[in-house]
């Protein structure tokens, strides 16, 4: 509870009159006794009135507040939150409301001022914009009530709980890039086709039967058994796409409003949408985070929702990326051959560990290394150099980019494709590679 402006003005006026009359008396100037009596009487009456007003304010019931907001939000998108007030006041009351928004969410139009009318519900709203992904909890809402005589303002902290999830910016992708990708797919005519009859995956050996092709005969087994032995193949099944997402400190670089980690996460979601539309199975494995997560590859449109609920609260950490441990863990879980897409930000010091780990992974899976490059490095290489600091920055950027290019060449020399792109081109380049391999039958 704190004094209102009205109470402070009255106190200041009466004190000023008291100071003025005291000064006149000190100067031996006659002051009417009635003026002194009136001043002290008004001051005493104000104090009594303020005390009564404070007691009445303390007895006032607090309004009840209900918060209405979406169950989930998209990163960086504005949404509206509505506050509904239910009260028992018999006279109009002007109140001020401030919702305690969790850290990580920005807001507009707070605090809110509204006049509560007797016998009516009131509702106000403000805008909310998430700055990071994850799970957020609302706990309190603050309301300022004026006293009946307007001499005090009481602050009430009301328990208004609520929870909200902030997902990756999939809404933005769905509004623009996904629509463009869908049109692109229809123009290219790339569709998943189920192969009939003889597939490409070996299943078992059996005796040669009438109708089998001579190409199915296993001549070594035939020679050992001295009877025709044929190879039996399984029918071709859908391909599997496995994302390996680096959550380490190298992914904390910032490009625009999003970090490299968020850009990589959005690219994974976009390609997952495309791959699931093609009938492929999509899975995810994270590494270099506090609690590594694994999602087995599954096909079907529902897998995208499962993927979103798995990664919505993922965050990058300060840990270095341990590629060898991550790949060993993936090999123990992912037995069937798949396209493994390693999303990271390569550094020169990663050469030895990464090359050996990727070679080990390539023996069982098809691997694509996606390395995100900082946009500022490309910009610095194109800017004109006029001063010594600019020259030093330019040389540092060129040296860093050359080291990255050398690492990429080493990986490609060992047969590992590398996609080294800035974040602005990541989505289109990654989808293009997938579609080109899909159309060429390389998956």
pLDDT computed for residue 198 by the predictor = 43
* Integer Cα distance of 36 and 181 in angstroms: 85
Give the end of a domain, one of 234, 256, 287.
Answer: 234
For residues 258 and 400, membership in a common domain is answered with yes
For residues 382 and 403, membership in a common domain is answered with yes
Tell me whether residue 85 is exposed, middle or buried, using C-beta atoms within 10 angstroms of its C-beta: 0 to 12, 13 to 18, 19 or more: buried
For residues 75 and 217, membership in a common domain is answered with no
For residues 87 and 15, membership in a common domain is answered with no
For residue 179, name the pLDDT band (cuts at 50, 70, 90).
Answer: low
For residues 188 and 156, membership in a common domain is answered with no
Angle at 31 between CA 25 and CA 34, to 5 degrees: 130
For residues 316 and 426, membership in a common domain is answered with yes
pLDDT computed for residue 185 by the predictor = 52
For residues 293 and 409, membership in a common domain is answered with yes
CATH code of residue 163 = 2.60.40.10
For residues 111 and 249, membership in a common domain is answered with no
* Integer Cα distance of 340 and 335 in angstroms: 12
Q: Is the pLDDT of residue 341 over 90?
A: yes
For residues 389 and 366, membership in a common domain is answered with yes
* pTM attached to this predicted model: 0.69
For residues 149 and 29, membership in a common domain is answered with no
For residues 269 and 413, membership in a common domain is answered with yes
pLDDT of 360-410, one tens digit each? Answer: 888 889 999 998 888 777 677 777 777 888 788 777 777 777 777 777 788
pLDDT computed for residue 67 by the predictor = 92
- The domain in which residue 261 lies consists of 170-192+238-440
For residue 288, name the pLDDT band (cuts at 50, 70, 90).
Answer: confident
Please state the domain count of the chain.
4
Instruction: Please tell me which of 9-23, 221-235, 298-312 the model is most confident about, judged by mean pLDDT.
Output: 298-312
Contacts of 313 (CB under 8 A, 6+ apart): 133, 134, 135, 165
| Least confident residue range of 64-78, 137-151, 398-412 | 398-412
pLDDT computed for residue 132 by the predictor = 85
For residues 223 and 245, membership in a common domain is answered with no
């Amino acid at each position: 509870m704190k004094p209102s402006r009205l109470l402070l003005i009255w106190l200041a006026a009466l004190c000023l009159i008291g100071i003025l009359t005291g000064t006149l008396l000190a100067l031996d100037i006659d002051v009417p006794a009635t003026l002194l009596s009136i001043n002290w009487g008004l001051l005493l009456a104000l104090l009594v009135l303020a005390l009564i007003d404070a007691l009445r304010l303390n007895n006032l019931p607090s309004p009840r507040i209900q918060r209405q907001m979406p169950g989930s939000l998209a990163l960086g998108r504005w949404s509206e939150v509505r506050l509904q007030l239910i009260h028992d006041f018999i006279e109009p009351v002007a109140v001020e409301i401030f919702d305690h928004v969790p850290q990580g969410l920005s807001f507009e139009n707070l605090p809110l001022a509204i006049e509560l009318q007797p016998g009516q519900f009131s509702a106000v709203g403000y805008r909310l914009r998430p700055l990071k992904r994850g799970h957020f909890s609302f706990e309190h809402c603050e309301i300022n009530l004026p006293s009946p005589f307007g001499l005090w303002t009481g602050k009430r902290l009301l328990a208004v709980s609520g929870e909200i999830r902030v997902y990756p910016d999939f809404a933005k992708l769905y509004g623009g890039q996904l629509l463009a990708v869908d049109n692109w797919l229809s123009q290219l005519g790339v569709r998943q086709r189920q192969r009939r009859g003889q597939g490409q995956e070996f299943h078992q050996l059996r005796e040669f039967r009438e109708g089998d092709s001579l190409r199915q005969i296993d001549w070594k087994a035939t020679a050992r058994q001295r009877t025709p032995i044929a190879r039996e193949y399984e029918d071709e099944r859908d391909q599997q796409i496995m994302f390996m997402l680096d959550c380490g400190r190298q992914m904390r670089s910032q490009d625009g409003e999003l970090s490299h980690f968020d850009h990589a996460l959005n690219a994974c979601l976009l390609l997952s949408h495309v791959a699931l539309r093609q009938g492929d199975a999509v899975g995810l494995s994270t590494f270099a985070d506090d609690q590594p997560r694994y999602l087995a590859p599954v096909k079907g449109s529902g897998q995208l929702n499962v993927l979103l609920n798995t990664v919505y609260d993922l965050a990058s950490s300060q840990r270095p990326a341990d590629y060898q441990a991550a790949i060993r863990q993936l090999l123990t879980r992912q037995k069937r051959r798949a396209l493994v897409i390693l999303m990271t930000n390569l550094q020169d010091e990663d050469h030895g560990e990464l090359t050996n780990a990727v070679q080990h992974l390539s023996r069982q899976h098809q691997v694509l290394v996606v390395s995100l490059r900082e946009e500022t490095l490309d910009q610095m290489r194109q800017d004109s150099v006029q001063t010594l600091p600019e020259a030093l920055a330019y040389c540092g950027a060129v040296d860093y980019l050359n080291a990255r290019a050398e690492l990429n060449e080493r990986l490609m020399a060992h047969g590992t494709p590398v996609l080294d792109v800035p974040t602005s081109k990541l989505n289109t380049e990654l989808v293009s590679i997938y579609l080109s391999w899909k159309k060429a039958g390389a998956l």
